[in-house]
Structure 1
Amino acid sequence: MTHDVIVIGGSYAGMAAALQLVRARRSVLIIDAGRRRNRNATLAHGFLSQDGVDPAVIASKSRAQLQAYPTLAWRDDVVIAASGTRDAFVVRTADSGAFAARRLLLATGVLDALPAIPGLQERWGRSVFHCPYCHGYELDQGRIGVIAAYPMSVHQAQLLPEWGTVTFFLNEAIELDDVASRDLQARGVAIERTPIAAIDGHADVVLADGRRLAFAGLFTAPKNAPATPLAEAMGCLLMETPMGTQVQTNDAKETSVPGVFACGDTARIPHSLSLAVGDGAWAGANLHRSLVWPDA
């Protein structure tokens, strides 16, 4: 069987795209490795009608709704290779074999490269965050630490006083110019230059000089890259952004390889659940149009 579309990645963007396609009665196969980026988060915020809901519940409910459509198939598996040309793609998986499709959608998400600080990774998504719109309100105007990772971290530190009292840890990752220093000070941001030794407790920053500073939550700006090498292996162009590397797409969410589309965090910045769903819905509609009008 040749599917109309194989969606690689069954998180929010991939499912949103698939929903548009199955509602057009197209044959869709989702292949998902089960590694949602927000799997460590206990609650999702900023997503209309789902504010304060466990993101795992949102994902499982979405999957159940999709699987009510007879043209939707789902495989819990890892894609190890994809090849071919428009109308003749083949996707190979670790456990289930090979599958054919006329179009491919890469919704594989990203990897987060965090600052190499002991204790930071273990708290990612629980008390260490990247998106203030997703997690800032729940900190209840408390003390917030921002850990510098690269130049975009300055923007994060400038924005976060909307949600609490901010300390910006340079952590030897960046140097502030006079303009940025004055702006941060005007925003009431305390600048801490002592390097960080570890993150401890709920969100305690232990400094190299022995001081321990407690916070309601911490923010940092990870560098992102596509979670799998599939896009690059297929010849899709990548592009550099202030937040890392992403798959390059046009306005219709098609990559540089005809018939291969990409959406969600792997193909757009900034990142949030709401934005991933919207991007996926747009990609799904454009995938359908490419099947109806292949020469457009």
Structure 2
Amino acid sequence: MDDMMTGVSPLDTAKARRGGAVTDPFACDVLVVGGGAAGLAGALTLVRARRSVLVLDSGHPRNAPAARMHGYLGHDGRSPADLLAEGRAEVAGYGGRLRTGTVVAADRLPEGGFLVRCADGSTVRARRLLVATGLLDELPGVPGLGERWGRDVLHCPYCHGWEVGDQPLAVLADGPLAVHQAQLWRQWSDRVTLLSHTWRLTGEDRESLAARGVVVAEGEVTGLVVAEDRLTGVTLADGATVPCRALVVAPRFTARSGVLSGLGLPTTVLERDGRVIGDCVESDPATGATALPGVWVAGNVTAPMEKVAGAAAQGVRAAVALHADLVAEEIRRAVEAHRAARRGEDQRGGAGQRGGAGAGPRTSARS
């Protein structure tokens, strides 16, 4: 498991300047699992708080298929890969360490903290965990969706709506989000078609769609029509073709939560209108704290609907709460050590006083 970027942590630097060896058995204060926007924002906050931090990232970000990201103030239209590269450089610049690696398991240690095992056989010991592993988008079973995902097979109108505005758009209805999606995307184009596919529309659904000028195309979708590497339409089971320049789908959001499940932290099912649309890891919405002491989460692993900016904000909030928890632990230990030292001084002082009283008065050798 090679370092992507290396650096000496501020904590280790401070100890070296005092002339003492680094004897802490933990490799780092905080292990951040996942190097996307949430993980890197959390790591940056922690290294600036002079914590020793290691970021482990598998190198497969959720938004890798997208050429640009949108709606992130100051970064609109920027490549997601460029944002992450700059984030890694910033973390490393403050002494954080970053490695490419896939975490496969984690165990709580009897003395506190965690032992994390990676796919290459290496291990890391950390006092706290910040898990920002994101999620997997499980696409509907229509041939060709995976190859076009993030390009002209889309999900979020706030991420991509402007770029396909005023073009013919189609929405795949295979779950309860479809009608809602069609009504949302209608804001960006007046040429929206809802493909009924495998979902049964109610009379109320059809009325609301018709009222907004959304056309309903009946029949199951069997494939995509692509010309010169651009989506031009979809095919239906009866052989008909529905023209479109973008196809909107609702993936199933599956949390990348293997390391948390191994620690005994299960996922929670997400439902919409009685149908499962994904799962996530529950956490305190204000701090990212999980039900497992010492473990925080941030980003899409706990909030599937968050975009890049929101995921980064969650990473910062979780890092602040995590740092406060470390400070509380250090205060506890410092007070215990201080009290032990005082008890030792009192005991030595008492022994000295008893020894003096039993020796009797001193006499001069010349008397």
Greater helix share, structure number: 2
Partner of 2:192: 166
Q: Distance in 1 between matches of 2:312 and 2:73?
A: 11
For the 8 Å contact 2:269–2:278, the answer to whether it is kept is yes
CA-to-partner distance for each residue in 1:191-239, whole Å, 9 max, x for gaps?
1121111013122211112222232211111111112422212111321
Selected match of 1:223 from 236, 245, 252: 252
Identity of aligned residues (%): 38
SS of residue paired to 1:185: helix
Counterpart CA distance in 2 for 1:169 and 1:149 is 9
Q: Report the counterpart of residue 271 of structure 1 in structure 2.
A: 306
Q: Which stretch has the larger CA shift, 126-135 or 277-286?
A: 277-286
What secondary structure sits across from 2:186 in the alignment? helix
Q: Shift of residue 266 of structure 1?
A: 0.7
Structure possessing the higher radius of gyration over alpha carbons: 2
Inter-partner Cα distance in structure 2 for 1:265 and 1:224: 9
Give the C-alpha shift of residue 290 in structure 1.
1.4
Of structures 1 and 2, the one with the larger relative CO (CA 8 A, separation 6+) is 1
Greater fraction of residues in strand: 1
Structure 2 counterpart of 1:212, from 236, 241, 248: 241
Mapping of residues 82-161 of structure 1, within 5 Å: 82-84=106-108, 87-95=112-120, 97-161=122-186
Which stretch has the larger CA shift, 109-118 or 186-195? Answer: 186-195
Find the counterpart in structure 1 of residue 284 from structure 2.
250
Contact 1:12 1:277 in 2 (8 A): yes
SS at structure 2 position matched to 1:111? strand
RMSD: 1.7
Structure 1: runs of 5 or more not aligned: none
1:51-81 per-position Cα deviation (integer Å, ceiling 9, x unaligned) = 11111111111111111011x1111011111
Q: Which moved more, 1:180-189 or 1:102-111?
A: 180-189
CA contact 1:237–1:256 (8 Å) conserved in 2: no
TM-score by length of 2: 0.77
Unaligned runs of 5+ in 2: 1-24, 272-276, 333-367
Could you list the runs of 4 or more consecutive aligned residues of structure 1 that deviate by over 6 angstroms after TM superposition?
A: none
TM-score (norm 1): 0.95
**Are 1:75 and 2:99 matched, yes or no?**
yes
The structural deviation recorded for 1:269 is 3.5
Q: 178-187 vs 30-39, which deviates more?
A: 178-187
What's 1:281 paired with? 316
- Residue by residue over 1:12-35, the C-alpha shift from the partner in whole angstroms, topping out at 9 and shown as x without a partner, is 110011111111011111000001
